[in-house]
Homo-oligomer: A and B are copies of this chain.
């Protein structure tokens, strides 16, 4: 393994890692090395460009902390996140579709009773959210855990606000015996993903905008069902066709209905896929 050139090095790296004990890891890393090398050869990557890539990843690493995840953001804008979600969720028609997780979920959100206002001080127009969680055969899913999060009217999640101690517009609730949920929060608005870092520079350099259509995030878990990570999007949002992270599904678009008292109401019914259920053929 000496005198390797830009063609022979690929086989050399594959040979070196042929001793891997884990066959799945080998499958993944072999493919990764082949595609990484093919990319560098295809564009005839220069050393200066290679170093720009190193610096870009370094910046992503240094801006990432327990409240900001620039690598998820990068994966999101490159379409890798939605690709990964899509190819792992070929569920039967009728099940609620999944979409990207995004960088703003936080473990350990506060628990709320049904009917509570999860805004907890977040600024925005009041909004009631309600619906049901059912299985594919229509059975209500009682005590399903809903982890919900969204931005405020300025387009910011609580974790983006320096010095804010408490969770805002984020909470965990459970469905009742009939699979129903309802809670108060604020009106979802379109917002720009964080673009003051390297991913923002990438968007600028590639002539892309950072906007996402208005949405509510849901992660829904219940015994016997696959975990559902998705959004509900707001109909007529100007960015539905231009989501910066490619996450919109027609089936996830709902109406935020203005009420007489100036608040809004959105209703959405989720359908979970049973664990071990038959996936749709690709």
Contacts and interface: CB of A to CB of B under 8 A. Distances in A.
Interface of A: 1-6, 9-10, 12-13, 16-22, 25-29, 31-33, 35-47, 49-50, 54, 57-58, 60-62, 64, 69, 71-72, 75, 78-88, 101, 205-208, 240-243, 246, 248-250
Contacts of A242: 1
A44 B88 CA distance: 8
A84 B40 contact: yes
Contacts of A81: 50
A44 B2 contact: no
A186 to B, nearest CB: 25
B207 A4 contact: no
Copy total for this chain: 2
A83 B40 contact: yes
Contact of A58 (B21, B35, B69): B69
B83 A37 contact: yes
Contact of A36 (B9, B80, B82, B206): B80
Nearest to A206: B17
Contact of A88 (B29, B47, B62): B47
B205 A20 contact: yes
A71 B58 contact: yes
B62 A250 contact: no
B17 A207 contact: yes
Contacts of A79: 4, 9-10, 12-13, 33, 37
A2 to B, nearest CB: 4
A26 B43 CA distance: 10
Contacts of A43: 27-28, 31
A1 B40 contact: no
Contacts of A27: 43
Most chain B CB within a 10 A radius of its CB, from A2, A17, A36: A2
B62 A1 contact: no
Given A39-B32, A40-B80, A9 B86 contact: yes
